[in-house]
Chain A
């Protein structure tokens, strides 16, 4: 494509610029006269506030995950006895209900709703469900596991074998998983239970802080609305929905996956997810490396890249920065999905597969929303 002006063209350009100067300045009036919606200021202020708060939240989580990486690496084979504890939005409520408080065969942890409440205050409708994870004590564990009599007994052997790396291989197998659990229960339980108590405390703190902040934000918005001359009529009975919910996406006797979601809707909908990946024995967060092995990055990246390309090819209105038609967009050259990292969010779905999640805006334009990619076995 021709990109350079000849001397003649350059002169032409100058002439045209002179000639059109006035009419273009007049046309600019139409540009500048576009009315600015009242909601712009609120929206921008709120978006900034939301974001800076979220950043603070992520800092906390990042620290948490780092600590976990070190610990989990040293524990190694203990990946066999794992709880993945996360909380997802797209989980059916029915399934969540079914999971909560129901001791599943051989499970060493339960998730219970310790608080559930709804109320309306100052035009804010609040619906909150606070989960709590409890580790089943020995007695419960015995009651729960029918096939486990042998398992628990054999657990001694497991303990004798110590942290043999071989234990890791039985990760996915229900019966043997119990072996590993029981085997290491003695040594891991105290600290695991304490850490899980920490997680519960963190969830509770997130929920309480969020609820208070959300109400305050709406209150401030309301004040600003009336302070700047808004009338009751214009306000028109606006309300705000504040929801906190959780769902267990996966649970077996070694892993539990759960996502906590906070949602706030008024000018727009703001949803945020908190993912926790915990090892039942240690109470620590699991990493993608723990679950997928040394090649975790390659595996994730391959799956995600292939899926992005498939979606672009097969689905309508799909845009991922840096892929498909956007790939040679000079503005987007350094944007878009490049690789998963230790900070990448994920949960385990009902098939026991890892699902990697990207926040809205992270790898695609905002309208694409949150993006999820199931990591399936390579052919």
Chain B
């Protein structure tokens, strides 16, 4: 094993939970998220020679995980009709297991963070990715630019769009 491969494998092992959570936030299913992480690990190992600078290892790995997640979603979009419900804003209430909609004002008040979380997950992929990386993985904007291959101003723009869209969704819900 080369030194880079050793570093990569230990980096992956240390951060595997992060990759799983990130994958899960896209695919929303345990087995699927495990598959995504596995594919991502293999891909990282196969392409490690392309990673010239170890400083980029972190952002590079996020990028691979996001890629695998999105590939998975594209494939399964047609297979899983329930996906559409999630996209339309239906929320699976954890406590009761019932489906509740955003337009139930009571739900918004009591479950706001979860509704917000669900709303984030139903944003278009690029906006979602920027918000997740910024607020959940606490990456800086330049780091997000490196992960997504966008330039810094595009990252900002996506964040702006995303937040605005979220605000609209939440407002509609409350009204």
Instruction: List the A side residues contacting B105 at CB < 8 Å.
Output: none
* Bound Cα distance from A13 to B13, whole angstroms: 36
- List B contacts of A325 (CB < 8 A): 74
Q: How many of B's residues come within 8 Å of A, CB to CB?
A: 55
Q: A17 vs B5: C-alpha distance in the bound complex, in angstroms? A: 38
Counting CB contacts under 8 A, is A12 at the interface?
yes
Q: Which of A30-38, A219-227, A228-236 contacts B (4 or more CB under 8 A)?
A: A30-38
Report whether B157 and A4 are in contact in the complex, using a CB–CB cutoff of 8 Å. yes
Cα–Cα, bound, A226→B12 (Å): 24
Considering the chains assembled together, what is the distance between the CA atoms of A365 and B73 in angstroms?
Answer: 12
A10 and B38 contact, CB distance less than 8 A: no
Shortest distance from the beta carbon of A52 to any chain B beta carbon, whole Å = 6
Contact of A361 among B17, B43, B163 (CB under 8 A): B43
Interface centre among A52, A319, A365 (most CB of B within 10 A): A365
A368: nearest residue on chain B (CB-CB)?
B75
B117 pairs with A44, CB closer than 8 A: no
**Stretch with Cβ within 8 A of A (4 or more), from B51-59, B63-71, B82-90, B96-104:** B63-71
CB <8 Å contact, B112 and A23: yes
A13 (CB) vs chain B CBs: closest residue: B160
Query: B37, B71, B79: which contacts A365 (Cβ < 8 A)?
Result: B71
24 CB contacts below 8 A, A to B, read A3-B154, A5-B156, A9-B160, A13-B156, A27-B113, A27-B114, A27-B135, A32-B136, A34-B21, A40-B34, A41-B16, A44-B12, A51-B42, A51-B45, A51-B46, A52-B45, A55-B45, A317-B78, A319-B75, A330-B150, A361-B43, A365-B39, A366-B39, A367-B75
Given contacts A20-B163, A32-B136, 10 further A-B contacts (CB under 8 A): A27-B117, A30-B113, A34-B21, A37-B30, A40-B34, A43-B37, A44-B37, A45-B13, A48-B13, A361-B39
